Structure 1
Amino acid sequence: CDMNSTNTIQSGIHILTSQLLERQPGLVFDALAMYQRRHGAPPFAGVPGVPWCTCGNCRDMPTDLERKCCGQDPNNCVSLLPHFSQYCLTEGFLRIHRQYREDITVLGQASGPGDDNREYRYAAYRHFIYWQHGSLGQGNRRVIPSCCVWRIRDRFPDPQGHYTGFVPGI
């Protein structure tokens, strides 16, 4: 195999990888998890008391399953990306999502204190999953990285500070 063939193959792999990640950005999390299983955790642990965090924006979570970081370095944290803010924190996008969901499920509007923010949080979680992983289907759930969960919770807080946390699929 000559050098030109090797460069062509590497270029093709790079292009294919870029296209895959553009279509399914959540594959980054799968690749990072596989890399960490093979090579150990990355050396950066940016949050005291949160050793599993590499991005520096995570907070401790109540269960081991929820102790998930986006796996990026502090400058590239998923929760700080412009697309994350647009898709998961912008009320206009989330309001349309909520209205669509209410029309489909025939569930009523939020009515109690904190219900509005709870509905925005749930819509933001659904947007994140769809943005990163596509449509998963009923009962198929993924854990959202702590950094992203807390950006959403900070934007749409529960008045009592009570959050459900991750609920595995049935």
Structure 2
Amino acid sequence: MERSVDMESFSDDSVVNTSAGSTSFDDSHEGDIGLGVRPYQFEPEVDTDEEISPPNSPDRHVERLGNNDWCTCGHCHPMPTNAESVCCKEIQQVCAVINEEEPEKRCITELTSFAPACLQRTVLRIAYYSYRQHYEEIPESNGRFRYISYRQLVRWCWGWLGRTVRVPLPACAVHLIRSTFPAEDDQYRGFNFV
């Protein structure tokens, strides 16, 4: 059985006019991409009175070194570099995990599942065995537990990044992981983009 549509039954009245009664969308723009939609039309506009510095600008991070005034979760500690001086509340992927699991918590380290996933030695040993199937062996030490714990945190919040993709981890989580699995000489490699 074949169906046909009578196009004459549709009138121009059935077309939605997105500009009716609106003051911000009334004008016709060259950038319209059909149906009256313009790229970025629903994005917030920048207040010209605000001072904006790019995310990787040195000016943005100068005030972060040697203090934790930038922390909004209440658990971050001063970090040695600008790249490492980031709070869990500043990382979209980490905030998504917090909001999904326990939205009333202020920090990723406060989540009930943080300690079992990132600090429990048995869980980290099992995660290491999975790692070991694909990469070189790492002798058991606090360094290995720290490394696997960081990987667990990345897997939990970002899924899989790839071999050369790196992201700074929140200072609160790094501090708790380092406190749980301290280096014997108190020296840590820190974050590197490459």
Whether these two folds match at TM > 0.5 is yes
Q: Within 5 Å, which residues of 2 pair with 1:65-144? A: 65-71=83-89, 75-105=105-135, 107-110=136-139, 116-144=141-169
Tell me which residue corresponds to 1:51.
69
- SS in structure 1 of the partner of residue 178 of structure 2: helix
Quote the offset at 1:102 in angstroms. Answer: 2.1
Distance in 2 separating the partners of 1:75 and 1:93:
23
Quote the offset at 1:104 in angstroms. Answer: 2.4
Quote the offset at 1:109 in angstroms. Answer: 4.6
Distance in 1 separating the partners of 2:110 and 2:119:
11
Are residues 92 and 168 of structure 1, via their aligned partners in 2, closer, same or farther at CA, if it must alter by over 3 Å? same
Give the letter for the 1:101 counterpart. Y
Distance in 2 separating the partners of 1:149 and 1:92:
19
TM, length-normalised to structure 1? 0.64
Tell me which residue corresponds to 1:152.
177
TM, length-normalised to structure 2? 0.56
Identical columns (%): 34
Quote the offset at 1:100 in angstroms. Answer: 2.2
Are residues 103 and 86 of structure 1, via their aligned partners in 2, closer, same or farther at CA, if it must alter by over 3 Å? same
Quote the offset at 1:75 in angstroms. Answer: 4.6
Give the letter for the 2:137 counterpart. G
Q: Within 5 Å, which residues of 2 pair with 1:30-45? A: none
2:77–2:175: 8 Å Cα contact kept in structure 1? yes
2:105–2:111: 8 Å Cα contact kept in structure 1? no
Give the letter for the 1:81 counterpart. L
Distance in 2 separating the partners of 1:55 and 1:80:
10
2:77–2:172: 8 Å Cα contact kept in structure 1? yes
Distance in 1 separating the partners of 2:153 and 2:122:
15
Aligned length: 119
Give the letter for the 2:148 counterpart. A
Give the letter for the 2:70 counterpart. W
Distance in 2 separating the partners of 1:109 and 1:55:
33
Return 5+ residue gaps in structure 1 as ranges.
1-36, 39-47
Return 5+ residue gaps in structure 2 as ranges.
1-50, 53-65, 90-94, 96-102
Quote the RMSD (CA, aligned, Å): 2.4
- SS in structure 1 of the partner of residue 193 of structure 2: coil
1:54–1:74: 8 Å Cα contact kept in structure 2? no
